Amino acid sequence: MQARLIRGVLLAGLCLSPLASASAESAYDAGTRVFRLDGGDVTYAFKVDGQGLLQSVYWGARLANGDPVDSPAIKGLSGFDVAANVVPQEHAGWGGGLFAEAALKIAFPDGNRDLVLVYAAHRLERDGVTVQLRDISRPVNVTLRYTIDRDTGIVGRSATIVNGTAGDIRVDQAMSGTYVLPVGRDYQLNFLTGRWGAEWTRQQRPVSAGATVLESRRGSTGSENNPFFAISRAGATTEADGPVWFGALAWSGSHRITVDQDVAGRVRVTGGYNPFDFAYRLGAGEKLETPIFYAGHTGRGMGEASRLFHRFQRDTILPHAADKAPALRKILYNSWEATEFKVDEAGQVALAGKAAKIGVERFVMDDGWFGARNNDKAGLGDWTVNRQKFPNGLKPLISRVNALGMEFGLWVEPEMVNADSDLYRAHPDWVIAFDGRPRTEGRNQMVLNLAKPEVRDHLLKVLDELLTTNRIAFLKWDYNRNWSEPGWLGAAPADQQRIWVDYVRNLYGILAELRRRHPGVEIESCSGGGGRVDLGIMGLTDQVWASDNTDPVDRLLIQDGFTQAYAPGTMMAWVTDSPNWLNKRSTPLSFRFLSAMQGGLGIGTNLNHWVAEDFATASTYVAAYKRIRATVQRGDLYRLVRPTPGDVESTTLYVAADKSQAALFTLVQGTHRLDPRTPIRLQGLDPAARYRIERMDGAALPEGVPAVASGAYWMGRGLDVPLRGDFQGAGFILTRGS
Ligand code: DGJ
């Protein structure tokens, strides 16, 4: 028996690489033909069945070494549901009687569209396994790549389709793969929806027969359905306990995740390129690679699912040197809400002086500095400094900002063009459009077709020059509309629809090359708010903008949804003016700080309107934020009270990985009657250690709260924070051993 078991190279003690750990392993049992991946607390297993189909076997809590991992042969249920349909295939070709969601659908030039993918070969690798599939009769080969993260057990799956025929084939659907959950009746799908200004809304619905489709057809990720899912069990899963299967696509273009329960009761989650309007011509010998679809499992609730995913993003997805954590987010000031397009040297210098006084570390000039950009009708595409606003270029402003001890950052929106721009006048065929058809504009702008090599090369050159000639430490990379009329001017009809993939690949190429040439420059992904946040763009940018909605109450809801999927250390949050520009709500400055300090802190107010007291309040909170930022950005997030729309109340706790510090935020939109508040019981502390507690604003502790107590006390007894009134909040820092 043992002789048949061939293990991957991650066996404890056998691996020479210092990166390897005893807790990740890949193995293949030649007797049962079962592949088994183990990492963190997770086991993931699949097998080659009697027909050669690749079949899911198990995905859940980690099993013991030597446990029997196999599943009985699966037969069709009836003449209506033949085996191909009932077998929970890992990567099903559309053919052979399949009605469930296919991973791959191909049209051959002779009209054949039947594709049955069977096992051909495999290779165990350092971090997973690669499995070759091939069609039963035609030379179409698919390489499936499986990885498992040794710490979190998060699996990564992608597929590369190779056209081994002598002519063209057309790929009509290319998914990264299907994840299969055990048979069950009580599954709930948790997902994130939204629109501009209201991104990251949490949704939940039962999983049943009848698919739920989470998708974007916009050309980019979009706010409507983030490419993220989490499946819990009704009655069994809470924030703190119970099983959760979760995952996200690493793709910034049109995407689709389909969640369905098949005729045999299994839940199948299939994700990849959105097949809507998809048709990718593959010439002889050409290949198409899908995005990676990551997914994890925990038995410890929605909170732990987030913490695992956050850790995985910090360790594996976000850009950073191999042996380091991602850099901490700088506290930034951004000019947009203060000046909009009315930027000039004197105005920006005045704001910079004030920002430096409260401890800001990065001064970012937003839209309006280039071309004929006085409003949103002109200038996009012309990335040269507007000499009326900056007669001596950007250098004097940058020098002033640097002299004040801050880095300089700049707003760009490289993928767009206004019709009223020199670029569009010179290259009207560079936009996404259909020949001879109207070109829909959004915010008076059109999308440049980055799939065209000449557009890609132009953007790389322009941005490279901007970064080479100016001391710019940060780019806010904006993207303010979605695609329409998705034509590729000049491309052959058969290649038109490659745009859905090639655009995004070239965008990634530009970002990667800029990072290579300018390794010190950090980049933010912004899409008029949180419209392009996904694991693909996060691999090439350092931070993201969650929403243009900066109201601190709405933000608590937005941040709660965001952090269900993505790490708080990536999420920028600004303190802006009151009343808020979007919903006209007035809130105290301290409340705005306590809301924004739960991510990467930014300040976007018009500092010219502040009085001395505001500067003092801001300085206090900025100083407190600098003390806790590593904990907020790299620690474990516990959502102790999750806000719900209507009457928002939120209590969040961030605990440093080594448990040496914790940061607690509790905020209420309004209190009612004399209703008592529940004691706040912390989580994740070291029960035996002693922690000193203090308020972030330096005020006295609430009555009855001891200055020092054990972790066990803070987690068992907790603290009473009696808030009264509207827009009230308090922040606390707990420090171990003091
Ligand atoms: C949309 C962004 O979300 C805003 O923060 C700002 O940068 C504007 N674009 C500028 O046009």
Is 477 annotated to bind a ligand? Reply is: yes
- State the pLDDT at residue 23: 55
Q: Which of 38, 262, 478, 534 is catalytic?
A: 478
Q: 548 among the known binding-site residues?
A: yes
**Residue 686 annotated as catalytic:** no
Catalytic residue among 262, 548, 554, 577: 548
pLDDT (tens digit per residue) in 406-432: 999 999 999 999 999 999 999 999 999
The predicted structure's pLDDT at residue 76: 85
Q: Is 515 annotated as a binding residue?
A: no
Encoded tokens for 641: 């009270």
Output the pLDDT for position 19: 31
Q: What is the mean pLDDT of residues 195-213?
A: 97
- Give the Å distances, CA to CA, from 32 to 87, 145, 283, 490: 16, 21, 37, 53
What separation in Å is there between the alpha carbon of 480 and the centre of ligand 1?
Answer: 8
Closest CA relative to residue 625, chosen from 575, 668, 659, 660: 575
Over residues 689-708, the mean pLDDT reads: 98
- In the predicted model, what is the mean pLDDT of residues 96-116? 96
Domains, the chain, with CATH or none: 2-317 (2.70.98.60), 649-736 (2.60.40.1180)
Distance CA 207, CA 184 (A): 10
526 lines ligand 1 (CB under 6 A): yes
With a 6 Å cutoff on the Cβ, whether 524 touches ligand 1 is no
Q: Would the CB of 531 count as within 6 Å of ligand 1?
A: no
The alpha helices in 48-171, defined as continuous H runs, are 83-86
**pLDDT value, residue 83:** 86
Could you tell me whether strands 287-289 and 187-193 are parallel, antiparallel, or unpaired per DSSP bridges? unpaired
What's the pLDDT at 572?
Answer: 98
Q: In which element (H, E) is residue 190 found?
A: strand 187-193
pLDDT of 16 higher than 80: no
Distances (CA, A) of 384 to 181, 413, 458: 53, 13, 14
User: Is 367 annotated for ligand binding?
Assistant: yes
Q: What is the 3-state secondary structure (H, E, C) of 500-521?
A: HHHHHHHHHHHHHHHHHHCCCC
Question: Is 548 a known active-site residue?
Answer: yes
d(CA 31, CA 43): 19
Task: Report whether pLDDT(84) > 90.
Answer: no
- Lowest-confidence region among 183-187, 318-322, 447-451, 475-479: 318-322
Percent of the chain with pLDDT over 70: 97
Q: Which of 196, 223, 366, 374 to mutate to test the pocket of ligand 1 (most atoms within 8 A of CB)?
A: 366
* Residue 64: strand, helix, or coil: coil
Residue 532 is assigned to a ligand binding site: no
Residue with CA closest to ligand 1 atom 11: 367
The structure tokens listed for 113 are 């569209």
Using a 6 Å cutoff on CB, does residue 367 contact ligand 1?
A: yes
What is the position in ligand 1's atom list of the atom closest to the CA of 529?
3
What whole-number percentage of the chain has pLDDT above 90? 92
* CB 382 less than 6 A from any atom of ligand 1: no
Higher pLDDT, 695 or 24: 695
* CB 366 less than 6 A from any atom of ligand 1: yes
- Confidence grade of residue 72 (pLDDT, cut at 50, 70, 90): confident
Is residue 196 part of an annotated ligand binding site? yes
80 exposed, middle or buried (CB, 10 Å; 0-12, 13-18, 19+)? exposed
**pLDDT attached to residue 324:** 83
**Beta strand segments in 194-340, E:** 201-206, 212-215, 228-233, 244-250, 255-261, 267-273, 280-282, 287-289, 292-298, 332-334
For residues 354-362, give the mean pLDDT.
98
What's the gap in Å between 554 CA and the centre of ligand 1? 18
Q: What's the chain's average pLDDT?
A: 95
Neighbours of 300 (CB within 10 A): 18
**pLDDT at res. 675:** 87
Q: How far is the CA of 340 from the centre of ligand 1 (A)?
A: 9
pLDDT in tens, 475-491: 999 999 999 999 999 99
The answer to whether the beta carbons of residues 566 and 192 sit under 8 Å apart is: no
Omega into 579 within 30° of 0, i.e. cis? yes
Instruction: Yes or no: say if 545 and 572 are a contact pair by the CB < 8 Å rule.
Output: yes
DSSP state of 313: I
For the cut 90, the answer to whether the pLDDT of residue 1 exceeds it is no
How far does residue 587's CA lie from ligand 1's centre (Å)?
22
Task: Among 526, 544, 547, 558, name the best residue to mutate to test ligand 1's pocket (greatest count of ligand atoms within 8 A of Cβ).
Answer: 526
Helices and strands of the chain, counted as H and E runs: 13, 37
Per the model's pLDDT, the better-predicted residue between 466 and 97 turns out to be 466
Q: Cα 450 from chain centroid?
A: 22
Summarize pLDDT for 363-387 with one digit per residue, the tens. Answer: 999 999 999 999 999 999 999 999 9
The predicted structure's pLDDT at residue 6 = 56
Q: What is the DSSP letter of 367?
A: S
pLDDT digits over 518-569, tens only?
999 999 999 999 999 999 999 999 999 999 999 999 999 999 999 999 999 9
- Kindly tell me the sign of the dihedral angle through the C-alpha atoms of 337, 340, 342, 345: positive
Q: Whose CA is nearest to atom 1 of ligand 1?
A: 528
Residue 488, marked binder:
no
Kindly state if the Cβ of 336 falls inside 6 Å of ligand 1: yes
Which residues, 6 or more positions from 268, have their beta carbon under 8 angstroms from its beta carbon? 88, 100, 101, 178, 179, 180, 181, 258, 259, 260, 261, 262
CB of 197 within 6 A of ligand 1: the answer is no
Q: Measured between alpha carbons, how far is 218 from 317 in angstroms, rounded to an integer?
A: 24
Report which ligand 1 atom has the smallest distance to the Cα of 604.
5
Any ligand 1 atom below 6 A from CB of 548: yes
Average pLDDT over residues 675-698: 97
- Out of 199, 478, 533, 574, mutate this one to test ligand 1's pocket (max ligand atoms within 8 Å of CB): namely 478
